[in-house]
Amino acid sequence: MPAVLMCVAVLAAPRCISAAEPTAAASNVLLQPSAEFWKHKAPERFRVRFTTSEGDFVVEISRSSAPLGVDRFHNLVRAGFFDDSRFFRVRKGYIAQFGIPGDPTVGAVWRESSIADDPVRESNTRGSIAYAMTGPDTRTTQLYINLVDNLHLDAQGFAPLGRVVEGMAVVDRLYAGYDESAGGGMRGGKQGAIFTNGNTHLDQAFPLLSRLIRATIE
């Protein structure tokens, strides 16, 4: 009973959850996308450390670059959304994509939970990070890091949130041997098995994928 009451208290007052150190209880909000937790506005500037199977890298995010996208990203990190997931789409000389949760229960909640577009204020240069999408107002939780300058993506509406400021060599090491076959992009029609079975599917069918162990706000 005490544990249940504690979880309820956290959900009722998400502002008490530390942005720097998300708790296990905070992850309960991942199943409640309408909770007050998700209305929290991100700081103007912050850094997120990604701990991966290849090492750590850090991205610096600027809310003025893409406020709607940054607010969601900040809250996803706070809730532990990206923890224990996979870099399921890594195309050498193009991008490294992630953002489908390892738990298919969570994936089902967020798969169609889109946000409106932000205007493109930054360019898709090497090291920048932005949301994947299929068209206007279709950004959900999937993001990519540009491995090279992909300036053609600017005109297509892909709005970077920030960029890698430490550990770009780690991003370059993310396993790219499966190319598009492990999941591909949102438009490719190959992500269904990830959403249905999560890490169980990916670890069995694509065991060499680089792992996103944890994302934390610094």
Query: Closest Cα partner for 149 from 139, 140, 160, 135?
Result: 160
Tell me if 22 is assigned to some domain.
Answer: no
Average pLDDT of the chain, as a whole number: 90
Tell me if 6 is assigned to some domain.
Answer: no
Q: What is the CATH number of the domain that holds 70?
A: 2.40.100.10
Separation CA 154–CA 162 (nearest Å):
14
Which structural domain, as residue segments, surrounds residue 96? 41-217
Tell me if 2 is assigned to some domain.
Answer: no
Tell me if 1 is assigned to some domain.
Answer: no
Domain count, the chain: 1
Decide if 52 contacts 211 (C-beta within 8 A).
yes
C-alpha R_g of the chain: 16
| Torsional class of 140: left (φ above 0), alpha (ψ -120 to 50), beta (otherwise) | alpha
How far, in Å, are 16, 19, 78, 148, 214 from residue 22 at the CA level? 10, 6, 5, 32, 11
Predicted confidence at residue 28, as pLDDT, reads: 85
Query: Closest Cα partner for 91 from 195, 168, 191, 181?
Result: 181
Tens digit of each residue's pLDDT (9 = 90 or more) over 178-191:
999 999 999 888 99
- Predicted TM-score (pTM) of the model is 0.87
Q: Please report which confidence band the pLDDT of residue 164 belongs to, taking 50, 70 and 90 as the band edges.
A: very high
Amino acid at 30: L
CA atoms within 13 A on the CB side of 38: 19
Tell me if 156 is assigned to some domain.
Answer: yes
Count Cβ atoms within 10 A of the Cβ of residue 85 and give its class: 0-12 exposed, 13-18 middle, 19 or more buried. buried
Tell me if 154 is assigned to some domain.
Answer: yes
Tell me if 128 is assigned to some domain.
Answer: yes
Predicted confidence at residue 2, as pLDDT, reads: 42
Tens digit of each residue's pLDDT (9 = 90 or more) over 26-80:
458 999 999 999 999 999 999 999 999 999 999 999 999 999 999 999 999 999 9
Tell me if 196 is assigned to some domain.
Answer: yes
Query: 195 Cβ partners below 8 Å, 6+ apart?
Result: 100, 104, 107, 108, 111
Tens digit of each residue's pLDDT (9 = 90 or more) over 111-147:
999 999 999 999 999 999 999 999 999 999 999 999 9
CA atoms within 13 A on the CB side of 215: 26
